[in-house]
Chain A
Amino acid sequence: MYLSIIDIIVNYFPLLIKGLGVTLALSAITVVGGAIIGFLVCLFTMSNSKILKFLGKAYIEVIRGIPLFLQLYIFYILLSNEISSFVAIAIALIVNSGAYVAEIIRAGIQSIDKGQYEASRSLGMSKRKTMIKVILPQSIKNIIPAIGNEYVTIIKETSLGSAFFIGDLMTVQKQIGNDSYDFLGAYIVVAIFYFISTFSLSKIISRIERAYKKND
Chain B
Amino acid sequence: MIKIENLSKSFGNLSVLKNINLEIKEKEVVSIIGPSGSGKSTLLRCLNLLEIPNEGKITFENQVIFEHSNNHKEVCRDLNSFRNNIGMVFQHFNIFPNMTVIDNIALAPINTNKMSKSEAYAEAVVLLNKIGLIDKKDSFPNKLSGGQKQRLAIIRALAMSPKVMLFDEPTSALDPEMVKEVLELIKYVANLGMTVVIVTHEMRFAEEISDRVIFMDEGKIVEINSPNILFSKPDNPRTKEFLSKVL
Task: List the interface of chain A (C-beta within 8 A of B).
Answer: 113, 115-116, 118-126, 129, 133-134, 137-138, 215-216
Task: List the interface of chain B (C-beta within 8 A of A).
Answer: 48, 50, 80-81, 83-84, 86-88, 90, 92, 94-98, 107-108, 111-112, 114, 140, 142, 153, 156-157, 160
Which chain B residues border A215 with CB–CB below 8 Å?
97-98, 140, 142
Q: What are some 12 contacts across the A-B interface (CB < 8 A)?
A: A115-B90, A116-B96, A118-B50, A118-B88, A118-B90, A119-B153, A122-B50, A123-B112, A123-B156, A125-B111, A129-B111, A216-B142
Which chain B residues border A126 with CB–CB below 8 Å?
80
Contact B96 A124 (CB under 8 A): no
Contact B83 A123 (CB under 8 A): yes
Beyond A122-B87, A138-B97, A216-B142, 16 additional pairs, beta carbon < 8 A: A113-B92, A115-B90, A118-B50, A119-B88, A119-B94, A120-B108, A122-B48, A122-B157, A123-B160, A124-B84, A124-B108, A125-B108, A129-B111, A133-B107, A215-B140, A216-B97
Q: Which of B92, B98, B140, B157 contacts A123 (CB 8 A)?
A: B157
Q: Given the interface contacts A133-B111, A215-B140, A215-B142, does A122 sit within 8 Å of B88 by beta carbon? A: yes
Contact A121 B142 (CB under 8 A): no
Which chain B residues border A123 with CB–CB below 8 Å?
83, 87, 107-108, 112, 156-157, 160
Q: Nearest 10 CB-CB pairs, A to B?
A: A119-B94, A123-B108, A124-B84, A115-B94, A122-B88, A124-B83, A124-B112, A129-B111, A124-B80, A138-B98
- Smallest CB separation, B75 vs chain A (Å): 14
Docked complex Cα distance between A134 and B103 (Å): 11
- Smallest CB separation, B76 vs chain A (Å): 12
Q: Which of A119, A121, A122 contacts B96 (CB 8 A)?
A: A119
Looking across the interface, which residue of chain B has its beta carbon closest to that of A137? B98
Which chain A residues border B107 with CB–CB below 8 Å?
123, 125, 133-134
Looking across the interface, which residue of chain A has its beta carbon closest to that of B157? A123
- Smallest CB separation, B201 vs chain A (Å): 19
Docked complex Cα distance between A137 and B107 (Å): 13
Contact B160 A124 (CB under 8 A): yes
Docked complex Cα distance between A137 and B111 (Å): 15
Docked complex Cα distance between A122 and B80 (Å): 8
Contact B97 A121 (CB under 8 A): no
Docked complex Cα distance between A115 and B157 (Å): 14
Docked complex Cα distance between A96 and B157 (Å): 44
